[in-house]
Amino acid sequence: MSAAATLFTPPLRGATAHLADELQAGRVYRREELARLSNAVDRHLNELVSTGMLKKLAQGLYYAPKQALIVFYSNGEKPPCKSFP
């Protein structure tokens, strides 16, 4: 995925947004499980994979990744974390 695609992803609409709302971060889904929530499951899964909301693990197997919080400091201070040698 290019940097430009990472910065801007169009908002999800309609049935794709409904399917995305049903996903739980950190959970693995089978296509069959998601098919009952969508009338065009393959198209919706492809849209969710392209936006990064799902990762395709194998044929018919998808993972909803957990989102990490990234903190940026504008005053130049280092984040409060332990550094490792």
pLDDT number for residue 5:
45
Measured at the CA of 21, the angle between CA 15 and CA 25, to 5 degrees, comes to 135
Helix (H, G, I), strand (E, B) or coil at 68: coil
> pLDDT tens digit string along 45-79?
999 999 989 999 999 999 999 876 666 666 666 66
> pLDDT tens digit string along 13-30?
788 888 999 999 999 999
Domain ranges of the chain: 29-67
Question: What is the DSSP code (8-state) at residue 47?
Answer: H
Lowest mean pLDDT among 4-8, 36-40, 54-58, 68-72: 4-8
Q: Rounded to two decimals, what is the model's pTM?
A: 0.66
Nearest-angstrom CA–CA distance, 56 and 52: 10
Which is nearest to 58 in space by CA: 34, 29, 36, 33? 29
